Amino acid sequence: MIVGATGSIGTQTIDVLKSLSGYKLVGFTYHENLKLAEEISKDFPEAEFLSTKTDLDRFEEMMEKLQPDITVAAAPGFAGFKLAYVAIPYTKRLALANKESLVCGGKVLKNQLRKFGVELIPVDSEHSAVFQLVERGIEKVAITASGGALRDWPVERLKEASPSDVLRHPVWSMGKKITVDSATMVNKALEVLEAMELFELPMEKIDVYIHREGVIHGMVFLKDGTVKIHASVADMRIPIAYSLTYPERFYRNPEFPKFSSLTFERPSEERYPLFFLVNYIKDSYALRTAFNAADEVAVAAFLMGKISYTQIFKVVEAVLKSLESEKAESFEDLSAVNEEARRLACEITRYC
């Protein structure tokens, strides 16, 4: 089952499935790209599918009917978290590509997974890398970042950056939202929070490095001084395939990474102020949810030319200050915070 089959992760999962024998697509969802959904259906005529935009109320019914062994949670945003949460009782493995599920609802999601005995396998390249390296005796882990399209721009010029400037990602081919988040390193803030949840580590044991070559995706530092490093070409099909075939490796990719030079830099707060807000939100699921929701609205407003690139930070910061006293213990609480944060961000940007 693929939840969000017409997005970037979803379409690459389709590519992987076409190359794997013994795997069958029983169903998938899409949001509004009916044309692409129909193309997928031609390749997998036995798969049931529905739109989460028009037929959302049928999603749980579909999951209960199909009972898939593996569910790839690839739908983005807080809505994708809700779909992943609803899918858990009807599957055996959740291959998780939706950041919000752990960022906003880590405790809620993990309780649901434990309740139904469902296995969780990360799909993000960085978390997949650490997952493949992890063992007893960890001192800390490190995940890498590209630094985004503006990593070499003078800081004083960042306010001039246009959407087309920001969307020229130097390493990965991704959707517009995550490409902007790569430039601000919001995606890496979310990934730090994900790593805290996945590997049950405090934030001070999770390092982040800007790694321009896009070859190293994760590192694990062990207590005896050993550093284990995961390297591969920048191809999301590799971690997607591993989440499907774990603990085996059936997917074949003939290309190996090149190691001509490897560089690692610490991100600066001056260039990436949004990333450093992770220190403020790390201990509050309500603030994490508000951070994510405000960023979604601010990025959409930036892409539509309503606010400047540097105003994304100001919008998110203002929403967090407004909601800093909020608490969230349940899915319903998180949903309420998400809606209020979006409302505030819409009010500030005058976009929605």
- Say which residue the tokens 């920048």 belong to: 234
Query: Side-chain half-sphere of 38: how many Cα atoms within 13 Å?
Result: 4
Same-domain check for residues 24 and 51:
yes
Q: CA–CA separation, 10 vs 27, rounded Å?
A: 12
The pLDDT assigned to 66 comes to 98
How many whole angstroms separate alpha carbon 43 and alpha carbon 53?
23
Tell whether 96 and 178 lie within a shared domain.
no
Quote the tokens at residue 204: 């001070």
Inside any domain, residue 6: yes
- In this structure, the strands spanning 2-3 and 70-73 are parallel
Q: How far apart are CA 66 and CA 55, in angstroms?
A: 16
Same structural domain, 95 and 38:
yes
Written as six digits, the tokens of 191 are 């990934």
* 223 within domain boundaries: yes
Question: What is the reported pLDDT for 171?
Answer: 78
> HSE on the CB side for 2, CA within 13 Å?
31
Give the distance, in angstroms, between the CA of residue 58 and the centroid of all CA atoms in the same chain: 25
- Tell me which residue of 33, 38, 26 sits closest to 8, measured CA to CA: 33
Task: Select from 268, 271, 277 the least CA-distant residue to 321.
Answer: 277
Question: According to the model, what pLDDT value does residue 351 have?
Answer: 86
Tokens of 103: 């960022």
| Predicted pLDDT at 125 | 93
* Residue 290 falls inside a structural domain: yes
> What is the CA angle 265-234-204, rounded to 5?
40
Instruction: Encode the chain in three state secondary structure.
Output: CEECCCCHHHHHHHHHHHHCCCCCCCEEEECCCHHHHHHHHHHCCCCEEEECCCCHHHHHHHHHHHCCCEEEECCCHHHHHHHHHHHHHHCCEEEECCCHHHHCCHHHHHHHHHHHCCEEEECCHHHHHHHHHCCCCEEEEEEEECCCCCCCCCHHHHHHCCHHHHCCCCCCCCCHHHHHHHHHCHHHHHHHHHHHHHHCCCHHHEEEEECCCCCEEEEEEECCCCEEEEECCCCCHHHHHHHHHCCCCCCCCCCCCCCCCCCCECCCCCCCHHHHCHHHHCCCHHHHHHHHHHHHHHHHHHHCCCCCCCHHHHHHHHHHHHCCCCCCCCHHHHHHHHHHHHHHHHHHHCCC
CA 101 to chain centre: 9
| Tokens of residue 24, six digits | 């069958």
Q: Are 31 and 51 in contact (CB under 8 A)?
A: yes
Same domain for 151 and 112, yes or no, is no
Please report whether residue 101 resides in a domain: yes
Residue 47 is predicted with a pLDDT of 98
What's the domain range around 317?
A: 284-352
Q: 108 and 88 in one domain?
A: yes
Total of domains in the chain: 3
Do residues 142 and 275 share a domain? yes
Per-residue pLDDT of the chain in tens (352 residues, 90 and over written 9): 999 999 999 999 999 999 999 999 999 999 999 999 999 999 999 999 999 999 999 999 999 999 999 999 999 889 999 999 999 999 999 999 999 999 999 999 999 999 999 999 999 999 999 999 999 889 999 999 999 999 999 999 999 999 999 999 887 777 899 899 999 999 999 999 999 999 999 999 999 999 999 999 999 999 999 999 999 998 999 999 999 999 999 999 889 998 888 999 999 999 999 999 999 999 999 999 999 999 999 999 999 999 999 999 999 999 999 999 999 989 999 999 999 999 999 999 998 8
Residues 68 and 165 in one domain: no
Q: Are residues 75 and 142 in the same domain?
A: no
> Domain check: are 204 and 295 in the same one?
no
CATH code at position 93: 3.40.50.720
Residues 169, 298: one domain? no
Which pLDDT value is given to residue 234? 87
Global confidence as pTM: 0.93
Out of 78, 102, 123, pick the residue that ends a domain: 123
- Phi, psi dihedrals of residue 219, rounded to the nearest 5°: -140, 150
Residue 244 domain flag:
no
Place of tokens 């031609």: 42
* Domain end marker among 93, 123, 153: 123
Residue 245 placed within a domain: no
Q: Are residues 290 and 272 in the same domain?
A: no
**What's 304's domain CATH number?**
1.10.1740.10
Residue matched to tokens 């976009």 = 351
C-alpha 41 chain-centroid distance: 26
**30 and 110 share one domain:** yes
Q: Is residue 128 one of the residues assigned to a domain?
A: no
Task: Of 307, 350, 292, give the one whose Cα is nearest residue 103.
Answer: 292
pLDDT at residue 161, as a whole number: 97
